[in-house]
């Protein structure tokens, strides 16, 4: 069967993944930095200002990247700009690659930097201080920085941190490794003047007819009320401070992990155990190719800490 001829000057558009595996592209760091800045800022104007280049030069760099990949990465109109599906995928990878390059250059110039560990709002609760002190004593040459992030998983994928403590499982993919550390009890947060506040514990069914407030950065209510059962009305707030305020003023109750009670005591909020609620799994996530050489040692340190705490609880 004769081969189909393409019109002169027409190149077959290869799928994005095929281009990535073709080995014939000449993509440079400046291309990735351009896409990362555009994704961060959402406009060519803002990205150009961050990179300190002119808008025409940045547009040419983006067009060159798209030409070398053979796919459109950004949809542009006179009024809006948005990353395409391929652009989103490359943007996430580019942030991680650029972070690793910057870290490598910093290490070459001044030695290994601190191990950056992100968390949403409660770190490890009562285990946090023993973790930090134990690490400092055992590894004085490797500082550990605990960083509060609105979305630790996203920060990890962007290369802003080296590892993340998570209480919700990330979407399975080849970019991250995830290891469970221990399980943590759930508690309910109620206003201090609530009739339940005088109790020593509560049950999930007692909140089926009450509003439950969720925090966008650390929701831990997935699967608590199965389909078919009475479910409470839920609404979302942006951060832990708003979450606590809504509960303290009596507008809702909140379900969370017990580390929150340790890390965020509030004079207007009482935390009660929820013995009928399933526990939360606390995990550590990090890039499949670690961005910091101390990551495996840190995982072992966490596991030892969790084992000691479990032994003490027994």
Backbone angles phi, psi at 78, to 5 degrees: -70, -20
Task: State the CATH number of the domain containing residue 29.
Answer: 1.10.10.10
Amino acid 222: pLDDT: 66
Section 219-248 average pLDDT: 83
Same domain? For 48 and 175 the reply is no
User: Is 86 found in the same domain as 151?
Assistant: no
Domain identity same for 147 and 292? yes
Q: Is residue 257 part of a domain?
A: yes
Are 162 and 302 in a shared domain?
Answer: yes
Least confident of 4-8, 61-65, 126-130, 232-236: 4-8
pLDDT score at 309: 67
Rounded distance between C-alpha atoms, residue 302 and residue 314, angstroms: 19
Ranges 188-202, 213-227, 298-312: which has the least confidence: 213-227
Q: What angle do CA 106, 129, 271 make, to 5 degrees?
A: 125
* Average pLDDT of span 231-235: 88
pTM: 0.67
Give the domain extent around 271: 186-278
Q: What are the φ/ψ torsions at residue 262 (nearest 5 degrees)?
A: -75, -45
Same domain, yes or no: 233 and 175? no
SS3 114: coil
CB 62 within 8 A of CB 38: yes
The CA distances from residue 307 to 136, 139, 197, 304, in Å, are 19, 19, 32, 5
Cβ atoms of residues 286 and 162 within 8 Å:
yes
Pair 300, 162 in one domain: yes
Same domain, 289 and 170: yes
249 in any annotated domain: yes
Class of residue 15 by CB neighbours under 10 A (exposed 0-12, middle 13-18, buried 19+): exposed
pLDDT at 9 over 70: no
40 plus 79 within the same structural domain: yes
Q: What's the pLDDT band for 15 if we cut at 50, 70, 90? A: very low
For the chain, what is the domain count?
A: 3
| Cα–Cα distance measured from residue 53 to residue 94, given in angstroms and rounded to the nearest whole number | 19
Q: Are 195 and 273 found together in one domain?
A: yes
Q: Worst-scoring range by mean pLDDT, 56-65, 111-120, 185-194, 270-279?
A: 111-120
25 and 166 in a single domain? The answer is no
Q: What is the CATH number of the domain that holds 246?
A: 3.40.190.10
83 part of a folded domain:
yes
**Strand runs (DSSP E) across 152-263, as ranges?**
163-166, 176-184, 186-191, 212-215, 234-237, 254-257
Top-ranked range on mean pLDDT: pick from 2-6, 214-218, 239-243: 239-243
34: enclosing H helix or E strand: helix 29-41
CB atoms inside a 10 Å sphere around CB 255: 25
Domain identity same for 238 and 215: yes
Say if 2 falls within a structural domain. no
Query: Residue 244: is its pLDDT beyond 60?
Result: yes
């Amino acid at each position: 069967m004769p081969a189909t001829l393409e019109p002169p000057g027409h190149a077959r558009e290869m799928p994005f993944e095929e281009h990535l595996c073709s080995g014939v592209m000449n993509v440079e760091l400046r291309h990735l930095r351009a896409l990362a800045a555009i994704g961060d800022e959402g406009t060519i104007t803002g990205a150009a200002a961050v990179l300190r280049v002119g808008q025409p030069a940045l547009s040419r760099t983006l067009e060159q990247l798209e030409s070398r990949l053979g796919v459109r990465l950004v949809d542009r109109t006179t009024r809006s700009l948005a990353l395409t599906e391929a652009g989103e995928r490359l943007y996430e990878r580019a942030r991680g690659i650029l972070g690793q390059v910057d870290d490598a250059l910093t290490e070459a110039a001044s030695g290994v930097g601190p191990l950056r560990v992100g968390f949403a709002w409660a770190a490890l609760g009562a285990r946090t201080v023993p973790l930090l002190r134990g690490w400092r004593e055992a590894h004085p040459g490797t500082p550990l920085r605990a960083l509060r992030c609105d979305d630790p998983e996203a920060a990890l994928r962007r290369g802003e941190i080296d590892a993340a403590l998570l209480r919700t499982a990330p979407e399975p993919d080849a970019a991250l490794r995830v290891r469970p550390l221990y399980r943590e009890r759930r508690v309910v947060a109620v206003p201090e003047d609530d009739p339940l506040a005088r109790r020593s514990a509560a049950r999930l069914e007692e909140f089926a007819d009450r509003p439950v407030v969720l925090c966008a950065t650390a929701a831990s209510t997935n699967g608590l009320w199965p389909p078919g059962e009475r479910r409470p009305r839920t609404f979302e707030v942006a951060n832990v401070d708003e979450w606590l305020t809504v509960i303290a003023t009596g507008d809702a109750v909140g379900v969370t992990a017990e580390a929150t009670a340790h890390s965020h005591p509030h004079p207007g909020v009482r935390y009660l155990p929820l013995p009928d609620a399933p526990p939360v799994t606390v995990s550590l996530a990090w890039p499949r190719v670690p961005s910091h050489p101390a990551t495996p040692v840190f995982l072992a340190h966490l596991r030892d800490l969790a084992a000691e705490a479990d032994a003490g609880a027994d």
